[in-house]
Chain A
Amino acid sequence: MRLKPYLALLPMLALAACASSGDYLLFHPENLIATQEWHATIVDTVVMMLVILPVLLVIVWFGWRYRAGANAKHDPDWSHNTALELLVWGVPLLIVGGLGWYTVKTLYAIEPYNPGLLQKQIAADPQNVLHVDVIATDWQWIFVYPQQKIATIDQLVVPQGAVVKFNLTSASVSNDIYVPQLLPMIAVMPGMRTKDTFDAPKLGQWTGFAADFSGAGFSWMQFDTKIVSPADFTAWVQKAAASPDQLSYATFQKLAQPHANIGAKISYFSNPDPQLFDKVVAAAQAGVVYPVSAALTKSIASNETEK
């Protein structure tokens, strides 16, 4: 039994050793929002450790000191001490009070619709806000850039320094969008419109993905996320705008038919229907669904599809 605490420490050490590696995506936030959330994780852990570590030590110490056969003092009736009982209520109360205050404070800083953290940046340069409409289908991500008049499947490209504002909806079932280093999760729901906001301070490339289960093709719902220089962004927009495929609502209806995009292949579209997002929301509210047949559910991503 005295081995146990050490055993518990071993994996923690292993975790600490690995923490420096880039695989721990949440340890490496790449923008203000994600950094704030990572700080909250650290603050919470440190504050909680103030109480958890002593309790752990007390349990180990008592458990060793008062084991049978250790000849320690045995007091078979001691079961009450008013001061101690006040303490055991008081300490958690203080911790919860402190953390509660901190939580409410951070809540407004990272509020997805209008984060306090980015207020200054938006006010300083309102032109530098990039609007992207995000539509989840079964099982792909469609990004519509209304200002740039382009759309993509499974690729999100953002100019460095911009603040990105998402409108999100789904054509079929609910989902969550997630880029661990940049974009915390937010729900994507059919017939409803959620919003999310994040900043893009550093160049780089990341994988974004669906986080909330949405059916058989869910595991294959990744999208490529890039932050590029403004010049590269303009070039990229021009490339996409040159695409002969145009994203009309009729085209969208075909795209939204359930199928898994295995390998997350990227497609570009020019001239998306300017009201595409609204039409998708309105259609879902009017009861339009993209049903998944039982046969498709059973065969998707199995070898049967290739026959």
Chain B
Amino acid sequence: MAHQAAPDANTRLFAPGFAGHSQISARTLGFWLYMLSDALLFTALFAAYAVLDTPMNAAGGPIASQIVNPVEGFWQTIAILGSVTAYSLATVALKTGNRAGVMLGIVAAMVLAVVFLGFGFNDLATLTAQGNGMDRSGYLSAYFVLILTHAIHMLFGLIWMLVMLVQIPRDGFNEMVVARLLNLRMFWQFQATVWVCVYIYVYMIGA
């Protein structure tokens, strides 16, 4: 306080016409913060997985190396990365306001995501059918819940994409739609980021 200047002729007390912040920036920052909190959610799940990934926690059931297949995981990796790249390319079309381009990118992203989820659900269904469901052992509980949490995120992303496919033709690229498209891009990319961690940690190092 000692360094405070005294007011002079140039001192302004009010800021009429203050433009404020940009809605889009606030929304993307807010959504980014939500994603960091979601990242902490996955962090906790990874911590749980790491603790439960021991032979003892398999309780006589299968261990990681018996249930994951890194090669199949690689196809999944390509599918999900393809999906996020397709979506990202859709946002490149957004720069020119190209509605058809944006929607085409979204549809491509959805198709690849369904392929990715198909692999995942097939794995889980096969395991369950063999009697190695999530209630078999502590280890399988951790494995199933980690994979399912990621898959549920993906399903919400797909619902979100469907909503956007309705809103783009209906509303055009207004501020809200653009903010949602940008947020969805982060959300979708985030699923790929989580998958990279899952793939490396569960499918490779764990196996």
Residues of A within 8 A of B (CB): 77, 79-80, 285-287
Which of B's residues lie within 8 Å of A, judged by CB? 1-2, 59
Nearest-neighbour CB distance to chain A for B52, whole angstroms, equals: 14
Q: Which 6 A-B pairs have the closest CB atoms?
A: A77-B1, A79-B1, A77-B2, A80-B2, A79-B2, A285-B59
* Residues on B with beta carbons closer than 8 Å to the beta carbon of A285: 59
9 contacts between A and B (CB under 8 A): A77-B1, A77-B2, A79-B1, A79-B2, A80-B1, A80-B2, A285-B59, A286-B59, A287-B59
CA distance A287 to B60 in the complex (A): 12
Residues on the A chain within 8 Å of B2, using CB: 77, 79-80
Cα distance, A77 to B3, chains bound together (Å): 10
Q: Report B-chain residues with C-beta under 8 Å of the C-beta of A80.
A: 1-2
Write the nearest CB–CB distance from B133 to chain A, whole angstroms.
15
The minimal Cβ–Cβ distance linking B137 to chain A, given in whole angstroms, is 10
Closest to A77 in B: B1
Q: How many A-B residue pairs have CB under 8 A?
A: 9
Query: In the complex, what's the smallest C-beta–C-beta distance from B1 to chain A, in angstroms?
Result: 5
Q: Shortest distance in angstroms between B90's beta carbon and chain A's nearest beta carbon?
A: 50
How far apart are the CA atoms of A79 and B1 in the complex, in Å? 7
> How long is the Cα–Cα vector from A79 to B2 in the complex, in angstroms?
8
State in angstroms the CA–CA spacing of A287 and B59 once bound together.
10
Whole-angstrom distance between the alpha carbons of A79 and B3 in the complex?
11
Residue of B nearest to A287 (CB): B59
- A residues near B1, Cβ cutoff 8 Å: 77, 79-80
Q: Tell me, in angstroms, the Cα distance from A287 to B61 when the chains sit together.
A: 14
Question: In the assembled complex, how far is the CB of residue B57 from the closest CB belonging to chain A, in whole angstroms?
Answer: 10
CA of A118 to CA of B59, assembled, Å: 37
Chain A residue at minimum C-beta to C-beta distance from B56: A285
Note all chain B residues with C-beta closer than 8 A to A286: 59
Given A77-B2, A79-B2, A285-B59, 6 more A-B residue pairs with CB atoms under 8 Å apart are A77-B1, A79-B1, A80-B1, A80-B2, A286-B59, A287-B59
A83 to chain B, nearest CB (A): 15
- Give A6 to B2 CA distance when docked, in angstroms: 37
- In the complex, which residue of chain B has the Cβ closest to the Cβ of A286? B59
Complexed CA–CA distance, A112 and B59 (Å): 29
| A285 CA to B56 CA, complexed, in Å | 9
Taken together as a complex, chains A and B put the C-alpha atoms of A71 and B206 apart, in Å, by: 73
User: Once bound together, how far apart are the Cα atoms of A2 and B2, in whole Å?
Assistant: 32
CB-CB under 8 A from A79, the residues of chain B are 1-2
Which residues of the other chain, B, contact A77 by a CB distance below 8 angstroms? 1-2
- Bound state CA distance, A287 and B2, in angstroms? 69
Q: In the complex, what residues of A have CB within 8 A of residue B59's CB?
A: 285-287
Within the complex, the shortest CB–CB distance from A73 to chain B, in Å, comes to 16
A127→B166 CA distance, assembly (Å): 82
How many angstroms from the CA of A213 to the CA of B2 in the assembled complex?
56
Chain A's closest residue to B137 (CB) is: A287
- The smallest beta-carbon distance between A283 and chain B, in angstroms, is 13
Residues of B within 8 A of A287 (CB): 59
CA separation between A286 and B59, bound complex, in Å?
A: 8
The smallest C-beta distance from A249 to any residue of chain B, in angstroms, reads 21
- Please measure, in the bound complex, the distance between the C-alpha atom of A77 and the C-alpha atom of B1, giving whole angstroms: 6
The chain B residue sitting closest to A76, CB to CB, is B1
Q: How far is the CB of A112 from chain B (nearest CB, A)?
A: 22
Chain A nearest CB: distance from B120 CB in Å? 28
Closest to A80 in B: B2
Q: For the complex, what is the distance from the CA of A285 to the CA of B58, rounded to whole Å? A: 11
Output the least CB separation between B59 and chain A (Å): 8
Complex CA–CA separation, A285 to B2 (angstroms):
67
Distance between A3 CB and nearest chain B CB, rounded to angstroms? 33
Nearest chain B CB to A80 CB, angstrom units:
7
A74 to chain B, nearest CB (A): 14
- Alpha-carbon separation in the docked complex, A80 to B1 (Å): 8
Nearest opposing residue in chain B for A79, CB measure: B1
Q: Tell me the complex Cα distance, A304–B205, Å.
A: 57
CA distance A265 to B12 in the complex (A): 82
